[in-house]
Structure 1
């Protein structure tokens, strides 16, 4: 039988934090940009990877995004600033799950690919004190799904990988976690919460 998980690692974006596309679409419409232009530019691997790996700051990353938009420099900078002003919102059901895990005496780590803006976002969202530790790729200088990320995360939690449940919304990251010997479940919404509680040996 699989060992029961003793600790939880949970992703931020797409799990604990959700994004309403409307504010981002409004910026693109206002500046005459193609749909998803800002997100697709930001996720270009050659600038996204160093931002997540702690090689450049969030401000430097956004500067690179602005430089690639089909706008003049002041307009591009303004568009990016408006786009970044919206910082998402907390998923209440995911947060309730985290609180239940901690109330049962299990450690919860926030495991996220992020920039140096993460700590401020967590404060603004009221999440700083909702987890026991924050495992930021920017601070660790390695990002998910690298095996080194999961190794460091488990060491920080003080648990063997087989005793850690990892929850994320990205299939590629889930595969990486499983390769690193963690129990891993892809988050598609709260319908899986009874199963996740069962993995942690909590009341369903």
Structure 2
């Protein structure tokens, strides 16, 4: 049997931060772009990878998206929206920390992460922030998860990752962590029990 986890890693995008799909849809409609074009263009791996491993700035990444779509105004308007905090997840993180379980954000992110966390009111809400752009390696690599465990001061076997990506959950398990695929707030009772939060 695995030991009960004593530290928590929480994914940012899709878990702690939610994105309203209506925002890019409205921008695309307003500027005559195909539906889904903004995210599809931004998430092309050859464009995304340098941005989330610290080789290209967030601004440089978005400049490439704007150039590819020939739509700098649309990209600028889309980027003004920085998502919304899931209050249920934030409450869970606070509960874990209050019970003595250290918690960290573990995310594939650009150099805009600190500004985003400040804008979302998340600065100081976790014990550590593990960003791929700082680590220089992205989820789900072993290097990323090793850095995340080090930031928490725990062995991988003591850490629970909560993430909405099946691939990242599998990668964490390969790296020796416990990992849970996030489906929504209905998962929180199970996660509280996994961390022995009473």
Range of TM-score over shorter length: over 0.9
Post-superposition CA distance 1:176-196 (Å, at most 9, x none) = 000001000011101111111
Task: Map residues 47-196 of structure 1 onto 2, 5 A cutoff.
Answer: 47-69=47-69, 71=70, 76-196=71-191
- 1:24 shift after superposition: 1.2
Q: Does 1:200 align with 2:195?
A: yes
Q: Distance in 1 between matches of 2:196 and 2:26?
A: 44
Q: Distance in 1 between matches of 2:102 and 2:64?
A: 37
- Give the 3-state SS of the residue equivalent to 2:124 in structure 1: helix
- Give the 3-state SS of the residue equivalent to 1:14 in structure 2: coil
- Give the 3-state SS of the residue equivalent to 1:82 in structure 2: helix
Q: Distance in 1 between matches of 2:22 and 2:178?
A: 34
Post-superposition CA distance 1:47-67 (Å, at most 9, x none) = 101100111000000011111
- 1:198 shift after superposition: 1.2
Question: How many corresponding residue pairs?
Answer: 198
- Give the 3-state SS of the residue equivalent to 1:110 in structure 2: strand
> How large is the RMSD of aligned CA atoms in angstroms?
0.7
Spell out structure 1 runs of 4+ moving beyond 4 A. Answer: none
Structure 1: gaps spanning 5 or more residues: none
Post-superposition CA distance 1:113-162 (Å, at most 9, x none) = 00000000000100011101100111111110011100111112110101
Q: Distance in 2 between matches of 1:90 and 1:112?
A: 15
Q: Distance in 2 between matches of 1:55 and 1:188?
A: 32
Structure 2: gaps spanning 5 or more residues: none
Q: Distance in 2 between matches of 1:7 and 1:96?
A: 16
> Given the two structures, how large is their TM-score scaled by the length of structure 1?
0.96
